[in-house]
Chains A and B, each alone.
Chain A
Amino acid sequence: MLLIENVLYSYDPLVELSFQDISLEKNSQLLISGGSGKGKTTFLHLVGGLLTLQKGLLKLNGVNYGELKGSKLDRFRANNIGIVFQKPHLISSLTVLENLLLSQTLANQKIDKELATRLLGQVGLAHKSKAKTLELSAGQAQRVSLLRAVINKPALILADEPTSSLDDENANDVINLLLAHAKENKSILLITTHDQRVKERIKNQYLL
């Protein structure tokens, strides 16, 4: 269960962004839309613990993680939150498979090559596991970055405009994949987007 209450954020003292309270059960989805500059990304970064919370409450499965600091927050994020960004941002020094394994390492989990390989197989990239990430197409790379976010079975999956730089077919693949993994792990899925293709798929919506 994810609880977001009274969250406010200001980059400078005169402008304060306020966000609606949200309460989500596990295995549920929410799509957040809104024009640019409304604070979609800020909101997602706050929920993901990438930005320090200034005011408000963030609670995931009973843990008040908005109050966690430093490496405690990092560890919490590693084990409970998976984030997908607009661009894949894969680590180009590593191979496709190693990118997934890095996710396990950073979450202090056992390195499970088999799982990583199986996941790659599911998205049709088994043959690319030893390839450098720069050899992947945009759609392939985004699928890998998605796997990287979900491989540790996080309770909360955050996706920031995950489809905006993809064509229809790839966008569709990515949405399907997100929903499938969220469902399989009973994760809460929070997506920010202004992409109509995504809006059509997720009923629970909230306009910022």
Chain B
Amino acid sequence: MNLIRLSWKYIIERPLNTFLNVLLFGFGISIIIVLLLVAQQFKSSLSKNAKGINLVVAAKGSPLQIILCNIYHIDFPTGNIPLKDAIKLSNNRLIKKSIPLALGDSYKNFRLVGTTHAYTDLYKVQVGEGKLWSPHEEVTLGVNVAEQLQLKVGDTFHSEHGLQSGGLAHDEHHLTVVGILDRSGTVLDNLILTSIENIWELHGTHDESSPHHEDDEISTTALGISFHQDELEQKEITSLIIQYAGPMGAVRLPRMINSQTNMQSASPAYETTRLFSLVGVGVDVLNGFAYLIILIAALSIFISLYNSLKQRAYDLAIMRSMGASKRFLLFHVIIESLIISFLGGIFGLFLAHFSIWAIDYFFIPTESQMHVSPLIFSIYEIIIVGLSFVVGFIASLLPAIGAYKTDISKTLAKG
């Protein structure tokens, strides 16, 4: 019959009260942990996908939208930019690497991205099976796409116009799966990659009947795309992903692009910071709410201890008469509160990870780029559960001191 057991006996004596306290405590803790983990995972996902990308250039529009669309493949494109302008820009000596993207098609909600092999190089993603796409009617799938749609190398499908399911199908063009990428934890896992030429073909801007189709003499290559010189004027792409050659790029390129061209530049670092400061307000409010719940939980523990102390005055006095020291009673009450807050903390921890799983499972579509995993833990969780101990301790102090001061003789004489 040690202290912990004794305190435990009192806790299970009041199951509903204990349940309420643990529940309140757990909810507060879990909200904090969920916010923490989700923010952490989003940040790490955002920075992982933006790694190596200094600037995105697309049609005039919201810079945030440009970043969301062209790096994270969440939002819609702002429009198209002329290939001619993109090529001209890519020749700037401040630019080390530029990768063209052509968006606009999808297959069962997974986005079809026209690009060059430089795109997979950027993310250092290897081909797991098969090979990378070649210019005509071939696609390489992200690993999640292959898994979700159960596509294998050699399978064919028709993509749909638009970025969401239900668009007009391009029935006349078969797309053949020639490869599946390794899992990388980046956006590439959820993309269908193909060539820019292929995207053009799907949209019929490539004149298939044109006689110079096989005429190599006037075919030219820029940005890793082959096209005919006389088509240059009418060709468009969605965006250009840019890596600077040096720090001067950051100083001069954005301003130059925004003022001297018809295009818009967007910096992922700047835009994600801005995004977080926008979302941050909501996170702060929720966090404040969570701390409020924990405060209420502490108050609830305090009140139930305080109330039970009145009923327990005899018990405490009797224990003293049996030889329990004042300190024994002090710890007895404190430990009772610590047990409740510990249970609350553990429950909160469990609830948090369960909630993250539920959020991911029920609210985030499988083809989405932004997933959260319940299996990622943070060192801060230990700190938060430790914090719950501190709160439990503080909540128990007054009642514990009351127990400490129990006047044995007076209490017993009353009975």
Residues of A within 8 A of B (CB): 41-42, 45, 48, 50-51, 70-71, 74-75, 77-79, 83, 85-87, 89, 91-94, 98, 101-107, 111, 148
Residues 1-40 of chain B, each 1 if its beta carbon lies under 8 Å from chain A, else 0: 1100010011011000000000000000000000000000
Knowing A93-B10, A94-B9 touch, does A74 contact B324 (C-beta < 8 A)?
yes
- Assess whether B255 is interfacial by the CB under 8 Å rule: no
Asked whether A79 lies within 8 Å of B323 as measured between CB atoms, the reply is yes
Asked whether B325 lies within 8 Å of A75 as measured between CB atoms, the reply is yes
Knowing A87-B415, A89-B318 touch, does A51 contact B2 (C-beta < 8 A)?
no
Asked whether A71 lies within 8 Å of B327 as measured between CB atoms, the reply is yes
Q: Which residues of the other chain, B, contact A103 by a CB distance below 8 angstroms?
A: 322
- Assess whether B394 is interfacial by the CB under 8 Å rule: no
Asked whether A71 lies within 8 Å of B325 as measured between CB atoms, the reply is yes
Q: Which residues of the other chain, B, contact A50 by a CB distance below 8 angstroms?
A: 320-321, 408-409, 412
Asked whether B325 lies within 8 Å of A45 as measured between CB atoms, the reply is no
Can you list the 5 inter-chain pairs with the closest CB atoms, starting with the nearest? Answer: A78-B323, A71-B325, A93-B13, A93-B9, A74-B325
- Assess whether B413 is interfacial by the CB under 8 Å rule: yes
Q: Which residues of the other chain, B, contact A92 by a CB distance below 8 angstroms?
A: 13, 315
The CA-CA distance from A107 to B9 in the complex, in Å, is 20
Q: Which residues of the other chain, B, contact A105 by a CB distance below 8 angstroms?
A: 1-2
Q: Which residues of the other chain, A, contact B183 by a CB distance below 8 angstroms?
A: none
Q: Which residues of the other chain, B, contact A101 by a CB distance below 8 angstroms?
A: 1
Q: What is the distance, in angstroms, from A15's C-beta to the closest C-beta of chain B?
A: 16
Knowing A77-B321, A91-B318, A148-B322 touch, does A106 contact B328 (C-beta < 8 A)?
yes
Asked whether B409 lies within 8 Å of A51 as measured between CB atoms, the reply is yes
Q: Which residues of the other chain, A, contact B327 by a CB distance below 8 angstroms?
A: 71
The CA-CA distance from A108 to B328 in the complex, in Å, is 12
Q: Which residues of the other chain, A, contact B398 by a CB distance below 8 angstroms?
A: none
- Assess whether B326 is interfacial by the CB under 8 Å rule: yes
The CA-CA distance from A74 to B9 in the complex, in Å, is 23
Q: Which residues of the other chain, B, contact A93 by a CB distance below 8 angstroms?
A: 9-10, 12-13, 315
A selection of 24 A-B contacts at a CB cut-off of 8 Å is A41-B413, A45-B413, A50-B320, A71-B327, A74-B320, A74-B323, A74-B326, A77-B323, A78-B324, A83-B322, A85-B415, A86-B415, A87-B415, A89-B314, A89-B412, A91-B318, A92-B315, A94-B1, A98-B9, A101-B1, A103-B322, A105-B2, A106-B322, A106-B323
Residues 149-188 of chain B, each 1 if its beta carbon lies under 8 Å from chain A, else 0: 0000000000000000000000000000000000000000
Count A-B pairs with CB separation below 8 Å. 81
* Closest Cβ neighbor of B311 among chain A residues: A92
Knowing A93-B10, A98-B1 touch, does A106 contact B324 (C-beta < 8 A)?
yes
Q: Which residues of the other chain, A, contact B322 by a CB distance below 8 angstroms?
A: 77-78, 83, 102-103, 106-107, 148
Q: Which residues of the other chain, B, contact A102 by a CB distance below 8 angstroms?
A: 1, 6, 319, 322
Interface residues of B in 303-344 (CB under 8 A from A): 314-315, 317-328
Q: Which residues of the other chain, A, contact B323 by a CB distance below 8 angstroms?
A: 74-75, 77-79, 106-107
Q: Which residues of the other chain, B, contact A83 by a CB distance below 8 angstroms?
A: 321-322
Asked whether A89 lies within 8 Å of B415 as measured between CB atoms, the reply is yes
The CA-CA distance from A201 to B323 in the complex, in Å, is 29
Q: Which residues of the other chain, A, contact B409 by a CB distance below 8 angstroms?
A: 42, 45, 50-51
The CA-CA distance from A206 to B142 in the complex, in Å, is 98
* Closest Cβ neighbor of B328 among chain A residues: A106
The CA-CA distance from A18 to B290 in the complex, in Å, is 61
The CA-CA distance from A106 to B320 in the complex, in Å, is 9
Knowing A89-B415, A93-B13 touch, does A48 contact B1 (C-beta < 8 A)?
no
> Besides the contacts A85-B412, A94-B9, what 9 more A-B pairs have beta carbons closer than 8 Å?
A45-B409, A74-B325, A74-B326, A87-B415, A89-B318, A94-B6, A102-B319, A105-B1, A111-B1
The CA-CA distance from A70 to B324 in the complex, in Å, is 10
Q: What is the distance, in angstroms, from B89's C-beta to the closest C-beta of chain A?
A: 78
Asked whether A70 lies within 8 Å of B319 as measured between CB atoms, the reply is no
The CA-CA distance from A171 to B14 in the complex, in Å, is 34
Interface centre among B1, B323, B324 (most CB of A within 10 A): B323
Q: Which residues of the other chain, A, contact B326 by a CB distance below 8 angstroms?
A: 70-71, 74
Asked whether A70 lies within 8 Å of B318 as measured between CB atoms, the reply is no
Q: Which residues of the other chain, A, contact B317 by a CB distance below 8 angstroms?
A: 89
The CA-CA distance from A83 to B1 in the complex, in Å, is 20
Asked whether B321 lies within 8 Å of A48 as measured between CB atoms, the reply is yes
* Closest Cβ neighbor of A107 among chain B residues: B323
The CA-CA distance from A108 to B38 in the complex, in Å, is 50
The CA-CA distance from A83 to B317 in the complex, in Å, is 12
Q: Which residues of the other chain, A, contact B325 by a CB distance below 8 angstroms?
A: 70-71, 74-75
Q: What is the distance, in angstroms, from B314's C-beta to the closest C-beta of chain A?
A: 5
Interface centre among A42, A102, A103 (most CB of B within 10 A): A102
Residues 371-415 of chain B, each 1 if its beta carbon lies under 8 Å from chain A, else 0: 000000000000000000000000000000000000011001101
The CA-CA distance from A91 to B319 in the complex, in Å, is 9
* Closest Cβ neighbor of A95 among chain B residues: B9
The CA-CA distance from A48 to B320 in the complex, in Å, is 11
Q: What is the distance, in angstroms, from B340's C-beta to the closest C-beta of chain A?
A: 15
The CA-CA distance from A103 to B6 in the complex, in Å, is 12
Q: What is the distance, in angstroms, from A116's C-beta to the closest C-beta of chain B?
A: 11
Q: Which residues of the other chain, A, contact B6 by a CB distance below 8 angstroms?
A: 94, 102
The CA-CA distance from A134 to B318 in the complex, in Å, is 16
Q: Which residues of the other chain, A, contact B319 by a CB distance below 8 angstroms?
A: 91, 102, 106
Q: Which residues of the other chain, A, contact B314 by a CB distance below 8 angstroms?
A: 89
Asked whether B315 lies within 8 Å of A91 as measured between CB atoms, the reply is yes
Q: Which residues of the other chain, A, contact B13 by a CB distance below 8 angstroms?
A: 92-93
The CA-CA distance from A148 to B415 in the complex, in Å, is 18
Residues 188-232 of chain B, each 1 if its beta carbon lies under 8 Å from chain A, else 0: 000000000000000000000000000000000000000000000
